Chains A and B, each alone.
Chain A
Amino acid sequence: MTPKTPPHQLQLNEHGQLRHFLTTEGLSTELLTEILDTAESFVSVGKQAVKKVPLLRGKTVVNLFFEASTRTRTTFELAAKRLSADVLNIDISTSATSKGESLMDMLWNLEAMDSDMFVVRHQASGAPHFIAEHVTPSVAVINAGDGRHAHPTQAMLDMYTIRRHKGDFAKLNVAIVGDVLHSRVARSQVHALRGLNVGEVRVIGPKTLIPADFEGLGAKIYYDMAKGLKDVDVVIMLRLQKERMQSALLPSESEFYRLYGLTMEKLAFAKPDAIIMHPGPINRGVEIESAVADCSRSVILQQVNYGIAVRMAVLSMAMSGQTEVAAQEGGV
């Protein structure tokens, strides 16, 4: 039989460099660290008088967002522009796919415009992988979140944030709290944390929000905040969508908040210097107490800031790895 290429193989070239960035699963410690190191070099760009470097000058980056996302799209756009790329934002709600054009036809049309990179957000798991399999060798695909599968750049900016504040991953216990079931971020975080050899990854939530086989990804499952948060160094809260209450996954926001909402009281189970993270946008009083979100241990806003540098790193690395492949295959 002929299974297609798993995402973690598809995204690397023969030298082990990124040519697409689809998932954090299967990436080596070295490559994950390289992404963080590259991001480190870009952090200062935003502080300069001229906030640009010429790495992607002359390249065209297309933001293909099939699912609404102001925050992620904006940071990708900013990252690409700081790398001097030309950026095209495709509003899918008014695009050809809503008129019945297939995804493939749309991609081929965009390719015909000599695009170099697609940043894809899609509601279907595997959509960026599908696109990466079908684009010409000269185009790189960056996953900006697909279904419940992966959100690798969000995970890497979280890793960057953790490293900035906590240093050595091997000594850390990290807890991920909330709606793990629907979270592409949580999956990518677990893969990245495991790849960076973190001490222990825990997920905490009710059974309705944690897939039964999740421990297979390398995380310990807790249904109780007191036990799950005990002695952790990092608490990552996940966003809880209100529609979860209407699909019989939770009885009410208030019960969820009482059991799994991060309050100062529950935070006391963690280490005294534990940092608090959240991919945003946060629901105050549902998944996190305002006092916690705004306290000195919260690094939520820094995550957003680091997100631009991390996305610059990924865009530049993938373009570099892709250019090498395309050159070998005669694509450029």
Chain B
Amino acid sequence: MDFSRPNFNQRIVIRNGRVIDPTQVLDQVADIYIADGLISNIGNAPVGFKPDMEFDAEGMLVIPGAVDVCARVREPGQTQKGNIHSETHAAAAAGVTHLCCPPDTNPVIDTRAVAALIQERAYQSGYAHVMPIGALTKGLDGQQLSEMHSLREAGCIGVSQLRHPVKDAQVLLRCLEYASTFDLIVFFQSEEQSISPAGGVHAGPTATRLGLPGIPECAETIALSRDLLLVEQTGVRAHFGQISCARSVELIATAQAKGLPVTADVAVHQLYLTDDMIDGFNSQYHVRPPARTEADRQALIDGVKAGVISVLCSDHQPHEAAAKAEPFPTTAAGISAFSHFLPLSYEFVRTGVLTESEWVQRIAMNPALLIGLDAGHLSMGSNANLCVFDPNESWKLSRDNMVSQGKNSPFIGRTLHGRVKLTLKDGALSYRHS
């Protein structure tokens, strides 16, 4: 693997790849030319173009770089789990050129300084754009509005309370009204904490049998229902992240049908995991929200296919080994997810659930549109943020080939189909697999 430093002056040609860009209704085998960080042309070489680097992408897909709306980089404050350098490295290796990091850093992203620090370090590392999501309330304490306008000025693409409760509905109402004032998008991770015990798994037969704390489906849907009513009340743009159950898909579809400004994403691992997989108390399956039933999993897939869930995200959460080396209920929740992000999401193309174009929409185009980002497309003259993905290469995920500092994944040992071969960020090589 090559993690050479970005070089913005390179002229690059990617030959013979299948270039897919839903924004242009483009799907054709073509050469793509990059110079000065921009996409110069797709098809014929621009006049006088002399490449510094050529890449033969025959049989591969050339797609916009993935835009990941939820990925932890763990900096500042949790560098034992990862840091901006290591995790943007991992993002580049996963074909991700832009990622949104949630505000639960330490300190929380509730000041311009923290937002600026994250972007500065990401810029210095050079492997992926990191766009912070600001805290909805100061310190995520659920009590006092954050300085949302300042946070937006400092580069935050939205605000979120994550799974930290806002117990007082009046406070939440005011938060949403204030965010709506500036057309800020609010990222919800709906969860009613009073019925969502720590260390829990889906409240079902497995939880009962193993005696693990059960998190019922209604922990998500109660909060989601309240959040949707407040969205309707305030008119705020709302994005519901990492939903986990069939009923949530229904609720969001109903809201969308009513014309509410509501979108949703699902973490790719939720499309694979079910609660019965934790049978052996395997803490690698400890995720939040919990993996639910097969019926929920199928409903989530159907939601992705129908477009109710328009975005796929990684929900990348690297952890140090010790965070998972405890009895299941006391371990940290989350999966180091970059490595499987594209291969497992592409699996739905292989199985006919999505077309290639729909897949690109859900991993790049739609998330870019969601956050108002000029990315997720391959337009000529735009910044060359793209990824070359070989859908035919099979490989086995192991701790050694995970680029992230976190090696926590239930998919270790699994054969993945499809591999990121090349990633360009603003026309510079940020990853090349060899």
Contact = CB atoms under 8 A, between A and B. Distances in A.
Given A102-B325, A104-B325, A3 B211 contact: no
Nearest to B328: A126
Residue of A125, A129, A148 contacting most chain B CB atoms (<10 Å):
A125
B211 A187 contact: yes
Contact of B329 (A10, A125, A212): A125
Contact of B204 (A146, A187, A213, A217): A213
Interface in A5-50: 5-7, 10, 25
Interface in A62-79: none
Contact of A124 (B277, B280, B285, B328): B328
Interface in B384-420: 410-414
B209 interface: yes
B326 A3 contact: no
Contacts of A99: none
A129 B209 CA distance: 14
Interface residues of B, number: 32
Given A146-B211, A187-B209, A125 B280 contact: no
A217 B208 contact: yes
B281 A7 contact: yes
A148 B281 CA distance: 13
Contacts of B64: none
Contacts of B325: 102-104, 134
Given A125-B281, A125-B329, A147-B329, A213 B211 contact: no
Nearest to A181: B208
A124 B278 contact: no
Nearest to B209: A217
A112 interface: no
A311 interface: no
Given A124-B199, A130-B326, A150 B208 contact: no
Interface in A148-178: 148-150
B327 A122 contact: yes
A38 to B, nearest CB: 26
A312 to B, nearest CB: 26
Contacts of A214: 208
A89 B207 CA distance: 31
B183 to A, nearest CB: 41
A328 interface: no
B148 to A, nearest CB: 36
A225 B213 CA distance: 27
B187 to A, nearest CB: 29
Given A1-B411, A102-B325, A126 B281 contact: yes
A216 interface: yes
A125 B214 contact: no
A134 to B, nearest CB: 8
B281 A130 contact: yes
A184 interface: yes
Given A10-B280, A213-B204, A149 B410 contact: no
B43 interface: no
Nearest to A128: B327
A101 B208 CA distance: 30
B328 A130 contact: yes
Interface string B262-304: 0000000000100001111110010000000000000000000
A2 B414 contact: yes
B330 A124 contact: yes
Contacts of A104: 322, 325
Nearest to A25: B209
Nearest to B411: A1
Interface in A233-251: none
A127 interface: yes
A331 interface: no
B282 A3 contact: yes
Contacts of B326: 102-103, 124, 130
A2 B212 contact: no
Interface string B195-214: 00001000111011111111
Contact of A126 (B204, B214, B329, B413): B329
Residue from A124, A150, A212, A216 having most chain B Cβ neighbours under 10 A? A124
Contacts of B210: 125-126, 149
Contacts of B205: 213, 216
B279 A125 contact: no
Contacts of B214: 211
Nearest to A4: B280
Interface of B: 199, 203-205, 207-214, 272, 277-282, 285, 322, 325-330, 410-414
Given A124-B326, A124-B330, A217-B209, 6 more contacts: A1-B410, A7-B280, A104-B322, A124-B329, A146-B327, A217-B208
24 contacts: A1-B411, A1-B413, A3-B282, A6-B279, A102-B325, A102-B326, A103-B325, A103-B326, A124-B199, A125-B210, A125-B327, A126-B210, A126-B327, A126-B328, A129-B281, A130-B327, A146-B211, A146-B327, A148-B213, A184-B211, A187-B211, A211-B208, A211-B214, A213-B204
Which 5 A-B residue pairs are closest in the complex by CB-CB distance? Answer: A148-B211, A149-B211, A4-B280, A126-B281, A127-B327
